[in-house]
Structure 1
């Protein structure tokens, strides 16, 4: 068997920023992540975390939801607005609405306290694999009003650039590649997120956010449809369809 080619240089460890005001939790999380081979930096609050990220951007942020001053929801929003960095949110609030609020703020995953540090390490590894795939897809995809450049991670709708997060792009690309096929939330969670387990509301929230960007009326979707009891289905429309901002909905009927 031929050895795997290498550059001769050691691989740079991925940087993880842990933002948590509980010193016990921070110590445990940092210890497990360091043992897994990551370079770990710790911040006790959101402002310090943002400052540290501005100086030396991390590859992933582990963020506590309940922070003094600026809470984790606002911190997550600021991270997502400034940098394309994945965020895993830690929360003591295990209610569905609290989880959804974190996902809507842009969190890529979450864990409810108390949690297993080993599970956190697995979640970090999984999110990093999805955010930087080992082999980037290439080529262009045309479907309905969409034109996707997979290599550049860019999408146009009716010829106009469409601003999507990395996960929204992956979700749209996966659905577009399987037109008229009903896909369950479990299928999407495994194929797009790379998770064999996880909260299915993650998929629900991202579908809703995607609809808000691509549908003329997100409450009455025409492109990204719900298949009740199954999941979701992408139904491409011809390029002559109305633009999302058209006021005359009759042109789409």
Structure 2
């Protein structure tokens, strides 16, 4: 526990919050900016004496319940919450599961990429959002139940495993390995998540290939820079692959683009027309 840094951090966060932000009257006489110590204590459901001792670097190590109250009272961001826990000598507990909510700015980005097929995936391979061209190139994810939007489950358990790779991709073996490795890494970040442990158990029971890859304990793989989709309407579509990590949500934005002037670029252009006529987009 770093009492001095904790005290300074609490003072700094308290002084930046106006009473009106938390529903308190400003009052005629405030000698310091932000909230008073007693107001923070009231909002955090702790005694004023205890909170004062924390700000004076004299307090005992706060419990997780006290820290949760301070997070709520001081309106801390996720990064500030984690910092508070580390200063208090109580590292934050792991999140309950992979985040699924996609930021609106990311959804807007997908909609502004008319010549790029783009999807957002969770830490365990669930497709969370997509644009029209991705739906045309891969499949209409809006027509699938949530369970079937998980690409890790799909690549190991089908229904595309009977002779035809998932989306006819040229790198299905590498994709399967990469999916298993990403799931292995995610299982360490979310050790208490029923969703993660349930998916691992399901794949171990249903796929010998996954069991073999899981037993290797690999957690990283070289990125896939290029792949070919075998599309039923336009034939082979070769694309460049780029993945952007949304760090605060533990999500990936996967972008598929064709080389300018190539036959695949023309195929994507055709799919962008056909796809918007027959498919709806959902986030």
Output the TM-score relative to the length of structure 2: 0.26
Output the TM-score relative to the length of structure 1: 0.28
The higher-RCO structure (CA 8 Å, 6+ apart) is 2
Structure number with larger C-alpha Rg: 2
